Chain A
Amino acid sequence: MKFTCKDVQNRWSEYLYRELDERELNLFIRHLLECEFCRAEEARWKDLLTRLDGLGASEGIFDAPPELLATVKREIILEEEESPRKTFSRLAGWVAGAACVFALVTGGLVTGFEQLQHSVQSKKVKKPVEESVLSNIYNDETLQIYREEGILLEPTPKKNTKCADR
């Protein structure tokens, strides 16, 4: 088996970063020895890596700043101090929320119950009945009691349909 230019082209990054296995590396190198174009490509790739390496080599800052450890420690101490407060405020928030929900639910239930009771009671109210309806059933004493309780309606006067002029 042999590597073609296409095979090589798809594996440049693996070659440059030494990620090819031994067999692939052999095939890769063999191709490079045979192919002038890919050798030129290799030179360009190596030029790229050299330039990229220059970024690390030329910059002034390499080491972690000495204040890093101290800052981290300070932040952690602050966080630990605030932690119980945060927990307390979170807990207080939960309690307040739960109280609100409880109040809303209870208020709703009470209002609903009251409305229900009211409607039941209003249904129980005895509707006044015309006296003429009961006069055949009850005697005068009973009718008098009902009259006093307002259960009986005064008999409606019959409309005089006859014209007075006639």
Chain B
Amino acid sequence: MISEKELIQGIRDKDPGVFEIFVRRFQQQVYYTALRMVSKHEDALDVAQEVFLKVWRFGPKLKKDVALDRWVYRVIVNTCIDRLRQRRHYETQTTSDNIILMSLPEKGVTPHEYAKQTEDLNQIKNALEKLTDRQRSIFVLRHFQNLKIREIADVIRAPVGTVKATLHQTLLKLRSLLGLGETNLSKREIGELNAAQNASQSTKKAANDQ
């Protein structure tokens, strides 16, 4: 098993053998992140190829002490954002039917259930499409790639506070888009709730004291 340092050195030296190991090791991560970012299989495949070509081209400039994982994520995110911009430029809006790639229904799933699942997924994909590039990057890295907020901040080169706030806004937006109830309490509602809580607690306290 080749270590990360050896991998970095191999990429810096443009060693084809090491590079193949690198592609094999990272292809799943690159493709899956790209698929979540750009939604379409063809685009994700293109992005994955481009990411590896960029790594090959810019490999000699790679710093020796770089965190390879995060650097690759940075390349993926930037390439995906470029692709999304291009798509917005040159394509008319695709219908959600074109985006969905469903597996065959499992045994025991009725056509009705299958149709409902498809509809649900369409709704989620449409909601993800409505996120901004930054929101989508942060959400994909956190939700699907399980990166910590600190790591995401490093990948997209933004302060931790910004990542936290953006993630929060993204979840609120998704919740609203997916029709899962009101997203936010108004200040007045919070005030009322806190007042009611304090009142009930003081009543309990008074009852206990007695």
Contacts and interface: CB of A to CB of B under 8 A. Distances in A.
B28 A61 contact: no
Interface residues of A, number: 40
Contacts of B27: 64, 68-69
Given A17-B142, A44-B181, A68 B171 contact: no
B203 interface: no
A45 to B, nearest CB: 7
B120 A51 contact: yes
Contact of B103 (A34, A51, A60): A60
B52 interface: yes
Contact of B28 (A13, A34, A58, A64): A64
Contact of A64 (B48, B120, B185, B190): B48
A4 B185 CA distance: 13
Contacts of B24: 69
Contact of B168 (A10, A62, A64, A75): A10
Interface residues of B, number: 49
A82 interface: no
Interface in B113-153: 117, 120-121, 124-125, 128, 142-144, 148-149
Instruction: Tell me which of B16, B148, B190 has the highest count of chain A C-beta atoms within 10 A of its own C-beta.
Output: B190
A48 B185 contact: no
Given A44-B180, A51-B124, A64 B30 contact: yes
10 contacts: A4-B194, A13-B171, A19-B149, A48-B178, A62-B32, A63-B31, A64-B27, A64-B30, A69-B23, A71-B49
Contacts of B199: none
B41 interface: yes
B71 interface: no
Contacts of B52: 72
Which 3 residue pairs are nearest across A and B when measured between Cβ atoms? Answer: A60-B103, A64-B31, A64-B27
B6 interface: no
A16 interface: yes
Contacts of A4: 190, 194, 197
Given A6-B190, A35-B197, A54-B124, A73 B49 contact: no
A58 B23 CA distance: 26
Instruction: Tell me which of B117, B121, B125, B184 has the highest count of chain A C-beta atoms within 10 A of its own C-beta.
Output: B121
Interface string B190-210: 100110010000000000000
Interface in B31-50: 31-32, 35, 41, 45, 48-49
Chain A contact residues: over half helix, strand or loop, or mixed?
helix
A155 interface: no
A44 B204 CA distance: 29
Contact of A59 (B16, B101, B148, B185): B101
B31 A65 contact: yes
A88 B120 CA distance: 55
Given A13-B167, A52-B143, A63-B28, A58 B102 contact: yes
A55 B56 CA distance: 32
A48 B180 contact: yes
B185 A60 contact: no
B45 A45 contact: no
B171 A9 contact: no
B53 interface: yes
Contact of B101 (A34, A47, A61): A61
A54 B30 contact: no
Contacts of A58: 102-103, 117, 121
Contacts of B102: 58-60
